[in-house]
Amino acid sequence: MSTDTDSHVVAERRENFGKGFARRLRAAGQIPAVIYGHGTDPLHVALPGHQVGLLVRRANALLELTLEGEKHLTLVKDIQRDPVRQIIEHIDLLVVKRGEKIQVDIPITVVGEPQPGTIANLDNSSVSLEVEATHIPENIEVDVEGLEEGARITAGDLTLPRGATLITDPEWLIIGVAVPAATLAAVEEIEAADEELAEEQAEENADEESGDEAADKGDE
């Protein structure tokens, strides 16, 4: 869980805009970004690309920016990437204050293994929580160890961090334990083969009984 800012980042104000200028910024190792929120006018800045690129690998990264001597506590709200090269093209930063509650989407992490022959299907990979801005959990772990087919874990079943409030519908399905379709098909195929074999055996037994009865009548 994050108990304070992830890192201090020195930002530079930018006055020029447009795709061409943004490309030049990225070529120089910087990332275009905008800071907004709390009723302030948006601030357009440039961030150090390598440092910020490492920090935003974690969801809901919290950055304390220094811009022209002023501090800005910000939450990474959106990252725009090149769909092919996955280079960060732009970042949206929301101004937050220590102690205030904000709404964030927290990733779900599955730990453990369900009963053999079953799998834990992750139906929803995150939940929305209201948490303190400086106490945002990295993830919520869900333990599926030993769960049997048909087991269900909903948002309301999750163990939340202290001080967090669930925003997502408590009935929202997070994980369902089931037998894989391929396994079910294989089981059904085996069962069908067993039934067919049993029917053939029953017919053979019936034929033998008929033959014995005929032989008995002949002896009479």
* 208, 149: one domain: no
Which of 67, 96, 125 is the C-terminal boundary of a domain? 96
Question: What would the pLDDT profile of 124-167 be if each residue is shown by its tens digit?
Answer: 999 999 999 999 999 999 999 999 999 999 999 999 999 999 99
Which of 96, 129, 153 is the C-terminal boundary of a domain? 96
Count of beta carbons in the 10 Å neighbourhood of residue 59: 15
Rounded Cα distance, 200 and 24, in Å: 78
Percent of the chain scored above 70 by pLDDT? 83
* 114, 194: one domain: no
- Token digits of residue 109: 């992490």
Residues present in the chain in total:
220
- Is 214 within 8 Å of 197 (Cβ atoms)? no
CATH of the domain at 107: 2.170.120.20
Number of domains into which the chain is organized: 3
Which of 52, 80, 96 is the C-terminal boundary of a domain? 96
Residue 196 domain boundaries: 180-220
Nearest to 134 by CA among 167, 93, 91, 101: 101
Question: What would the pLDDT profile of 109-119 be if each residue is shown by its tens digit?
Answer: 999 999 998 99
> Rounded to two decimals, what is the model's pTM?
0.72
* 191, 168: one domain: no
Residue 1, domain member (yes or no) = no
Rounded Cα distance, 41 and 78, in Å: 18
* 19, 85: one domain: yes
Q: Is the pLDDT of residue 194 over 80?
A: no
Q: Is the pLDDT of residue 24 over 90?
A: no
Better pLDDT: 173 or 192? 173
Return mean pLDDT, the chain: 86
State the pLDDT confidence band at 62, using cuts at 50, 70 and 90: very high
* 86, 107: one domain: no
Return the C-alpha torsion angle 172, 1, 58, 73, nearest 10. Answer: 110
Residue 204, domain member (yes or no) = yes
Q: Kindly state the DSSP code that residue 148 receives in the 8-state scheme.
A: P
Rounded Cα distance, 166 and 15, in Å: 40
* 51, 84: one domain: yes
Residue 201, domain member (yes or no) = yes
Whole-number pLDDT of residue 5: 46
